[in-house]
Amino acid sequence: MEETKELQTTYKIFRYLIYLSLIVEFFEYAINPELLDYWGGILCDIHGRIKRWYIYQDGNLIWSKIATFILICITCIGTRNKKHLEFDARHQVFYPLFGGLVIIILSIWLYGQSMGMKFYTISLNYWLYMVASIIGTICIHVALDNISKFLKEGLLKDRFNFENESFEQCQELQENKYSVNIPMRYYYKGKFRKGWVNIVNPFRGTWVVGTPGSGKTFSIIEPFIRQHSAKGFAMVVYDYKFPTLAQKLYYHYKINQKAGKVPKDCKFNIINFVDVEYSRRVNPIQQKYIGNLAAASETAETLLESLQKGKKEGGGGSDQFFQTSAVNFLAACIYFFVNYKKVPYDKDGHALVAEMTTEPKTYRPKPTGRVFDQTGKEVEPEYWLGKYSDMPHILSFLNQDYQTIFEVWRQTLK
């Protein structure tokens, strides 16, 4: 709660009363009443009336100092700090308070001394007593003010309990060959400190939760990409803001590849069902994936299921019959193109030379199984691929009439 004008005014009044009490003390103890015989004795009368108070009677100077000290304590109750300051008990409380008390005691001692030298009819020891009293009072006032400011700030600065809600975080970097270490800053005991989020075993799973725009990708996902890529891990990254993460992942892939941190045969690939031109594509219509007619049937069934928008309920036996017929027909076409004039290839996609033999009945060329590279060395092919074994040729072939299709099949089987 901020101070109201009434509280500020009251505080100022009490602060003025402290030094007014010093003036009254000097008026009673340091000034001879015979020197105040002016204006018809009014000042002498005032001096005599105040002298009747117990704290201003002769020999009671120490009680006057105690009264001033009590007044300072009452005034400091209303002290409030206007801005946050670093609290140093030694320099802000102990030194001023101890020094002020010593100077006040010194002022009482000076008052009891007798010095012949005078200035303006007042003895030198009285002048020194007044100066020491003012300095000592100011020091004590400053010390008690600082105590009050610290207590008030300590009670009100953490009104929402931020200090108790914060706790010390890990400041040690714990790194291993699997870990992900994310630097952070946290607030503890009035300061922002540096620490580490050490995910030493990422295989146990990491759950990232946050509202849109809260910084999940920047603070968690990107460090995972950067550090796992540098440690040679294979990653599957779902980029729902394509190509944001794809660009960062490719950047780190190229850097680590140049630094020799990427494992052998590890490549960067993209699968994008929206913008297919960005995807790395593969031809599934080849002998490596379709080794027999059963595999061709599975491929055909998968293609037909993928083309259907939704499974219709309540279909009878006729629907199932026509669906099965379509699967068998497509499977036959796929198997035909997979094995028609198939050519061996190496892992880099270069065509190899297959040794051929002639069938005695049909006089058609048939592979013997032996394959050679361009230098004539016998090698093991990576895969076999039909001459027209791809989806565009299959779809074009399916658009022909049945008579043409079956005629081609018969000619091939002869």
- Cα–chain-centroid distance for residue 116? 75
In this prediction, residue 322 carries a pLDDT of 56
HSE at residue 294, side-chain half, CA atoms within 13 A, is 0
Contact (CB, 8 A) for 318 and 338: no
* One-letter identity of residue 362: T
3-class SS of residue 168 = coil
**What is residue 4's DSSP assignment?**
P
In this prediction, residue 37 carries a pLDDT of 65
Distance in angstroms (rounded) separating the CA atoms of residues 154 and 84:
10
Strand-pair partners of 344: 384
Encoded tokens for 254: 């190229």
Encoded tokens for 321: 């019959």
Residue 161 φ/ψ region, left for φ over 0, alpha for ψ in the -120 to 50 degree band, beta for the rest: left
Contact (CB, 8 A) for 201 and 194: no
- Going across the sheet that includes 353-358, the strands are 353-358, 365-372, 378-379
Strand-pair partners of 42: none
- Any long-range contacts for 191-197 (C-beta under 8 Å, 24+ apart)? 193/169, 195/169, 195/170, 195/171, 196/170, 196/171, 196/172, 197/170
3-class SS of residue 382 = coil
Distance in angstroms (rounded) separating the CA atoms of residues 301 and 62:
109
Encoded tokens for 279: 């995807």
Going from the C-alpha of 98 to that of each of 67, 136, 140, 413, the distances in angstroms are: 18, 10, 8, 115
Q: Is the pTM of this model over 0.75?
A: no
Distance in angstroms (rounded) separating the CA atoms of residues 371 and 357:
13
In this prediction, residue 35 carries a pLDDT of 66
Q: What share of the chain is helix, strand, coil (3-state, %, to 5)?
A: 50, 10, 35
- 10-residue averages of pLDDT along the chain (414 residues): 66 83 81 65 73 77 85 78 65 86 88 77 82 89 83 62 74 93 88 92 91 91 93 90 91 92 89 87 82 85 74 52 76 88 85 84 77 86 86 88 87 66
Distance in angstroms (rounded) separating the CA atoms of residues 63 and 108:
11
Contact (CB, 8 A) for 371 and 344: yes
Residues belonging to the chain? 414
Quickly list H helices, 31-175.
42-51, 61-76, 89, 95-111, 124-156, 162-165
In this prediction, residue 165 carries a pLDDT of 65
Residue identified by tokens 């901020």 is: 2
- Cα–chain-centroid distance for residue 390? 49
Encoded tokens for 14: 């009490």
In this prediction, residue 164 carries a pLDDT of 63
- Please report, for the chain, the start and end positions of each structural domain, with discontinuous segments joined by +: 5-157, 160-206, 211-281, 283-306+320-413
CB-based contacts of 299, cutoff 8 Å, min separation 6: 284, 285, 289, 290, 331, 334
* One-letter identity of residue 389: S
3-class SS of residue 75 = helix
**E strand or H helix at 260:** none
Going from the C-alpha of 334 to that of each of 1, 329, 349, the distances in angstroms are: 82, 9, 21
Count of Cβ atoms closer than 10 Å to residue 92 Cβ: 19
